[in-house]
């Protein structure tokens, strides 16, 4: 009789079992949107700086933060804040967490595009006439007529975009940058143990 009471006290509730699937394109877009929201305050600072302060050091710091965000967080934690919030993580070909060198390789296209953007911004700040810009219309016109590096920016952005779109057509939902580094993005699925 006492054994029944003790046995029932020792029974553990069923623990959820974690399984992973390859993260879909839309799951990855959701994580990217969350990550983008983190940078919104810096975008406002950047816009104000472009029109008022005109201090390249501020743009450089914002660009550098944007440049290291993904490689650093994915290399240390296996995910950015957006990926963590949506249950995604980046793993290597053996499904182990990636390290910083693999993360840097995985993000080489982003890093390249970021460096092109930072150099392009430097050219804008150093261009004659930049100090006279006081509105977005002025800035747009200035960039169209005096900024010859804009084509490289567009090319770098298109390469990153095409890399991301590859997820839609790949059996394992890998992007080009995943294939370069031999990584996968997984989504955590929680199932009741049975």
188 pLDDT higher than 70: yes
| pLDDT of amino acid 190 | 75
Residues 29-50, mean pLDDT to the nearest whole number? 98
The whole-angstrom separation of Cα 157 and Cα 173 is: 20
Nearest alpha carbon to residue 92 among 101, 83, 81? 101
Distances in Å between the Cα of 35 and the Cα atoms of 30, 32, 72, 111 are: 9, 5, 13, 16
Query: Quick check: helix, strand or coil at residue 54?
Result: coil
For 5-29, give the DSSP string.
Answer: HHHHHHPPPPPEEEEEEEPPHHHHH
Residues 120-129, mean pLDDT to the nearest whole number? 91
Q: Beta 183-192 vs 16-22: how paired, if at all?
A: antiparallel
Quick check: 133 and 142 in contact, CB under 8 A?
Answer: yes
**Residue 66 is encoded by which pair of tokens?**
């944007």
Give one word for 168, left, alpha or beta, with left for phi > 0 and alpha for psi -120 to 50: alpha
pTM for the complete prediction?
A: 0.86
**Residue 91 is encoded by which pair of tokens?**
């793993």
Query: Quick check: helix, strand or coil at residue 90?
Result: strand
Distances in Å between the Cα of 102 and the Cα atoms of 25, 42, 59, 148 are: 21, 27, 27, 34
17 pLDDT higher than 90: no
| pLDDT of amino acid 142 | 87
Element (H, E) at 192: strand 183-192
74 pLDDT higher than 90: yes
């Amino acid at each position: 009789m006492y054994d029944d009471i003790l046995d029932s006290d020792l029974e553990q509730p069923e623990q959820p079992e974690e399984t992973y699937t390859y993260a879909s394109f839309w799951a990855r877009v959701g994580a990217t949107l969350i990550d983008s929201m983190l940078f919104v305050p810096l975008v406002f600072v950047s816009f104000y700086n472009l029109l008022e302060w005109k201090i390249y050091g501020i743009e450089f710091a914002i660009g550098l933060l944007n440049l290291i965000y993904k490689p650093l967080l994915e290399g240390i934690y296996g995910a950015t804040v957006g990926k963590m919030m949506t249950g995604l993580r980046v793993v290597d070909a053996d499904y182990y967490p990636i390290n910083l060198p693999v993360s840097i390789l995985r993000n080489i296209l982003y890093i390249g595009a970021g460096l092109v953007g930072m150099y392009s911004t430097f050219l804008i700040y150093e261009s004659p006439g930049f100090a006279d810009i006081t509105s977005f219309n002025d800035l747009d016109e200035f960039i169209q007529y005096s900024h010859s590096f804009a084509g490289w920016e567009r090319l770098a952005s298109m390469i990153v975009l095409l890399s991301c779109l590859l997820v839609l057509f790949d059996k394992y939902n890998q992007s080009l940058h995943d294939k370069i580094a031999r990584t996968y993005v997984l989504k955590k699925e929680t199932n009741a143990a049975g």
